[in-house]
Structure 1
Amino acid sequence: MSGGLFALLDDVAALVKLTTSSLDDVVGAAGRAGAKAAGVVVDDAAVTPRYVHGLKPERELSIIWRIAKGSLRNKMLIILPAALLLSQFAPWLLTPILMLGGVYLCYEGAEKVWEKLAGHEPAPEAQDAEVAVDPVAHEKKVVSGAVRTDFILSAEIMVIALNEVASEGFVSRAIILAVVAVAITVLVYGVVALIVKMDDMGLALAARGSGALSTFGRGLVRAMPIVLSVLSVVGIAAMLWVGGHILLIGVDELGFHPPYAFVHHLEVLVHDATGALGGFLGWLTNTVGSAILGIVIGALVVAVLHLIPKRRKGAAHA
């Protein structure tokens, strides 16, 4: 009887050890997969704060929570199943789909650049009027736009992560991607919530009267408009960089090598010529090359989309 009990305990211990080992493997693989998608994660975190810029402070966290739920819903219910099915039955489609998302990011970035250069950005007064007329509809519009852009970024993150764990079994892939989806969503929107509430934290610290904390709080309040403006620029640059890099890698994987070979050659030259800073400057060269491709492709899409309505309008008047 005691022998059977000890044998059972040995089996349980072995099962626990195997389960722990499997969990370690999953967490490790999820970490590697998430690291590969770091560029898009930075993009996502930089882009999102601009959606709550100008809203009432008491509504900011609510909006971020709604965007986060939409993001996680997209990842778990749409992107994850679609990515797993494609990787299982039509892996050759992943790169073209990823490239379509890259073109969209290039378009979004170039459209923002065009709005800034042409002075077509919505005036703050117009935004305030829209909020005053129907605040519920305005919030819905903000959340819808943010979730739509996040869908593209989330798809890029999930497909990049999927490529990293393509050799794993189907169930392992599903578990790893689910872990990545939850972890990335918590990370991105936790950081976003922290960023947009920093001014409130600064006000709370400033209200303490005098001392280092109060001074720090006042500095935080003064710095936040600058931080949000910088983040807006970083978000636009990141869309162009990430979109361009996806296209650069995609055309290379599809058999057209010159664009990637040219940028990679420049990257290696800079890396080898700059000594201790070679790693950073080589990465920067690749990033600038990707961003240039992104702005070119994005500008072409913007030009086409602006040209077609004008032609239709001209034909209608004729």
Structure 2
Amino acid sequence: MRLSAALSFISPVQTASNYRYLRINFNQHSKAKLTVGENAALSYVNNIIFKLGIYMAGTNLLTLLDDITVLLDDIATMSKVATKKTAGVLGDDLALNAQQVTGVAAERELPVVWAVAKGSFLNKAILVPAALLISVWLPWLITPLLMLGGLFLCFEGAEKVFAKFLPHDDKSESEGDKLDLVEYEKQKVKGAIRTDFILSAEIIVITLGTVAAATLINQALVLCVIAIIMTIGVYGLVAGIVKLDDAGLYLLNQSKLSANKFKEILGKGLLAAAPRLMQFLAFAGTVAMFLVGGGILVHGIKALHHIQIAVTNYGQTIVGTTGEVLVPLIFDGLLGVIAGLVVVLGHLAYLKIFKK
């Protein structure tokens, strides 16, 4: 009877909790005085229970590993989709950040890029948890915040245009002469990090929209993956772009040592292309500010979005597929220029009225 009572608990051994219950009950029965045969039987049962425990532990481990594999696969898939959707902003981010390094001394280019990259990582460390919290508690706040960022980009773009084409005050020129290189570098880094913050915010929001149906953990993991990939990719490319002239000079020197004509041609080509590329990126960075800023405003204001769609449809009827691609870009750019000019003029009026 005592043996059958102990064996009667084998049937519910299907989960880890039942296994623990069986072990405790079995130990209680094993404390009773048993015959030699009963002791042998109980030892046999104990061995079975032990093997069942190992089997269940192994099964649970395999199930856990399978769940982790599925989770990683989901994250990889969602990250791939999110990367495609943020590719446009990534191009603007690259142009803007490469443009921000122009004017910095050659030996300080990589330290400046590294400083901005660290600032970009810090931006994303702030933005990822903030975006998750806002999406859960205040989802309506995302669009207004993005629009403020878009207006700021338009303002910065218009300010660069004003600085390029409008005459400067003698006072501002004298202040610029007094500005030492260290302070100039700090201002460049701060400006680049500030711009990166807005572009990073847009990338994070686009990514968040892509994985909106996923669990909160998956959303957080995908956002982290995208943030890391984007930062390393953008600033790795920026570092390569700003050092093209050094690479050209190195190849040119190597060609003299080894009499290699190919290295000489490639080196001269890189040296000739580097300044033109930086000039183009400076121009492209300013254009990108208007495009991104205007695009954010269009998507944030429904009336503007409907106008853009109507204009795009009209352009498509005239020039076909080309109009479908170019018209939205032109619309976003013009809107960005107008918004930037309005903000700059408002800023100048504020300075004249309140800071006399």
TM-score range, shorter chain: 0.7 to 0.9
Asked if 1 retains the 8 angstrom alpha-carbon contact of 2:102 and 2:282, the reply is no
Aligned to 2:42: none
- Structure 1 residue 273: deviation in Å? 5.0
Q: Distance in 1 between matches of 2:318 and 2:327?
A: 12
Q: Does 1:246 align with 2:291?
A: no
> Partners of 2:70 and 2:267 in 1: how far apart?
46
% identical aligned pairs: 39
Is 1:268 aligned with 2:310? no
Question: Do the aligned partners of residues 5 and 143 (structure 1) sit closer, same or farther apart at CA in structure 2, a change above 3 Å counting?
Answer: same
Residue 156 (str. 1) matches residue 156 (str. 2)? no
The equivalent residue for 1:297 is 339
Give the direction of change, closer, same or farther, for the CA distance of 1:281–1:126 in structure 2 (3 Å limit).
Answer: farther
Please report how far the alpha carbon of residue 7 of structure 1 lies from its aligned counterpart in structure 2 after TM superposition.
Answer: 5.4
Q: Distance between the aligned counterparts of 2:72 and 2:316, measured in 1? A: 38
The answer for the alignment partner of 1:186 in structure 2 is 232
Per the TM alignment, residue 89 of structure 1 is displaced from its structure 2 partner at its CA by 0.5
Distance 1:22 1:296, change over 3 A: same
Deviation at 1:56, TM superposition (A): 2.3
| 2:87 aligns with one of 17, 38, 45 | 38
Q: Does 1:67 align with 2:82?
A: no
CA–CA separation in structure 2 for the residues paired with 1:34 and 1:116: 35
The correspondence for 1:147, drawn from 185, 193, 201, is 193
Match in the other structure for 2:37: none
Evaluate the alpha carbon distance shift between residue 91 and residue 203 of structure 1 in structure 2; reply closer, same or farther with a 3 A threshold.
Answer: same
Give the structure 2 partner of residue 51 of structure 1. 100
Tell me, yes or no, if the aligned pair for 1:130 and 1:138 is still in contact at 8 Å. no
> Which residue number in structure 1 is paired with residue 157 of structure 2?
109
Structure with the greater relative contact order (CA < 8 A, sep ≥ 6): 1 or 2?
1
Q: Does 1:13 align with 2:62?
A: yes
Structure 1 vs Structure 2 CA RMSD: 2.4
Contact between 1:204 and 1:217, CA under 8 Å: does it hold in 2?
Answer: yes
Residue type of the partner of 2:240? Answer: L
Select 2:276's aligned residue among 222, 226, 231. Answer: 226
Q: Does 1:138 align with 2:138?
A: no
- Using the size of structure 1 for normalisation, the TM-score is 0.87
**CA positional deviation for 1:31:** 2.2
- Alignment partner of 1:236 is 2:291: no
Q: Spell out, residue by residue over 1:214-262, the C-alpha distance to the aligned partner (whole angstroms, 9 max, x if none).
A: 101111111111111111111111110111011001011xxxx3x2122
Find the counterpart in structure 2 of residue 311 from structure 1: 353
- Relative to structure 1, the CA distance from residue 128 to residue 246 in structure 2 (aligned partners, 3 Å threshold; closer, same or farther) is closer
> What residue ranges of structure 1 are gaps of 5+ in the alignment?
none
In the other structure, the counterpart of 2:213 is 167
The residue type paired with residue 32 of structure 1 is V
- 262 and 75 in structure 1: CA distance in 2 versus 1, 3 angstrom threshold: same
The answer to whether the 8 Å contact 2:294/2:334 transfers is yes
* Mapped contact 1:115–1:121 kept (Cα < 8 A): no
Which one has a bigger Cα radius of gyration? Answer: 2
Q: In 2 relative to 1, CA 199–43 (structure 1 residues): closer, same or farther, beyond 3 Å? A: same
How many angstroms apart in 1 are the aligned matches of 2:323 and 2:263? 38
3-state SS of paired residue (1:48):
helix
| Structure 1 pair 30–126 and aligned structure 2 pair: CA distance change class (3 A) | farther
1:192 maps to amino acid = V
